């Protein structure tokens, strides 16, 4: 096997696994390349391996505040006197936190280490103190996958470790250690996301999709979709594109059976409305007349001798209004059959 040895490398590569150099072939971390960090419980050691590049959409839609945010973070990290610059991207699911984390990591031009949820928080320092190459480290959904109280030492940098740009995402900031919050030495920058943040980019997303009526679709999305996540927005737009040739299908029809919460009033009909529609179809009466007839019948206030059931040519076999068992005319006489 041919290998390339580089002077001063601090890692070795054995097959697909990369480890901090004890003995073996030299390996240098590559800026912009993604590395996975996992934990092997059986062997009680880490697994560090290459993972190609970050998975990003073809076009990333960025909010103005995110562009400014990135510039500030990267400028500070470049001149930061501390070992660790902590970033927390918090808030509503699906609003772009993970995408911004990836974009920020990519633009840092550092080797990118994605920490797996199986890696113990207590073991982080043991790994990062073994080398001094500046890196970007990503923890996705940090409050769900790690005990954040156990990450404090890693963020404090009490032990000499590599210079780190640490990017964390979370859906619920209340579940993150209170000792991380209001502590700039641990988390220097906090970006909070809300469902309304993406309103700024909706028109651009719709326009880029190629739908025919950009204004109408944009307005419908903003007014009716409760959670304006990128996932919900793009999924709905794709569905509109799929069905827009059918003029009988409305935007309301399209979203009605999608897994998207809306502000639309339910189109489900009541029992009275369904019966009234049947009467109108059979008798030729208007829906309004039929509905009034049904309501009067249900309330026992019918203004004429014709009930709603008689209107459609149906008479029940029993007289529900007669409680007497003595009326022989209403009895069912099997002998007459």
Q: pTM of the prediction? A: 0.71
Query: Are 231 and 242 contacting, i.e. CB atoms less than 8 angstroms apart?
Result: no
What is the structure's pLDDT at 5? Answer: 47
C-alpha 86/C-alpha 66 separation (Å) is: 16
Name the E strands within the chain.
11-14, 17-20, 34-40, 45-50, 84-91, 112-115, 135-139, 164-170, 189-193
Checking if the pLDDT of 72 tops 90, the result is: yes
Six-digit token string for 13: 């590569």
Q: Which residues contact 76 (CB under 8 A, 6 or more apart)?
A: 85, 188, 189
What is the structure's pLDDT at 318? Answer: 47
- pLDDT tens, position by position, 32-56: 999 999 999 998 999 999 987 888 8
- pLDDT tens, position by position, 291-310: 888 788 777 665 554 555 55
Which of residues 290 and 252 earns the better pLDDT score? 252
- pLDDT tens, position by position, 200-240: 999 999 999 999 999 999 999 999 999 998 899 999 999 99
- pLDDT tens, position by position, 153-165: 999 866 677 789 9
């Amino acid at each position: 096997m041919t290998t390339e040895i580089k002077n001063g490398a601090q890692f070795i590569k054995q097959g697909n696994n990369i480890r901090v150099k004890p003995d073996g072939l030299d390996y240098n971390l590559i800026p912009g390349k993604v590395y996975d960090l996992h934990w092997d419980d059986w062997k009680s050691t880490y697994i560090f391996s290459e993972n190609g590049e970050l998975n990003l959409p073809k076009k990333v839609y960025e909010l103005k505040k995110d562009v400014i945010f990135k510039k500030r973070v990267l400028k500070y990290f470049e001149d930061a006197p501390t070992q660790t610059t902590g970033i927390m991207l918090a808030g509503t699911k699906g609003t772009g936190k993970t995408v911004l984390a990836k974009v920020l990591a990519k633009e840092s031009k550092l080797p990118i280490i994605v920490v797996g949820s199986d890696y113990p928080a207590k073991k982080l320092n043991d790994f990062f103190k073994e080398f001094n190459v500046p890196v970007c480290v990503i923890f996705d959904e940090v409050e769900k996958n790690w005990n954040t109280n156990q990450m404090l030492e890693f963020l404090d940098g009490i032990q000499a470790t590599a210079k780190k740009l640490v990017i964390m995402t979370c859906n619920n900031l209340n579940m993150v250690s209170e000792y991380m919050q209001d502590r700039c030495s641990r988390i220097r920058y906090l970006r909070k996301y809300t469902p309304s943040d993406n309103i700024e980019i909706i028109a651009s997303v719709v326009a880029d999709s190629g739908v025919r009526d950009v204004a109408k679709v944009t307005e419908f999305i903003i007014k009716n979709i409760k959670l304006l996540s990128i996932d919900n927005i793009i999924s709905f737009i794709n569905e509109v594109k799929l069905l827009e040739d059918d003029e009988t299908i409305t935007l309301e029809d399209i979203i009605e059976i999608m897994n998207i919460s809306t502000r639309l009033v339910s189109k489900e009909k009541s029992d009275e409305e369904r019966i009234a529609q049947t009467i109108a179809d059979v008798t030729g009466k208007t829906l309004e007349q039929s509905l009034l007839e049904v309501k009067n019948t249900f309330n026992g206030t019918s203004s004429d001798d014709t009930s709603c059931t008689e209107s459609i040519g149906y008479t029940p076999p029993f007289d529900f209004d007669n409680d007497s068992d003595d009326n022989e005319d209403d009895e069912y006489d099997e002998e007459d059959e």
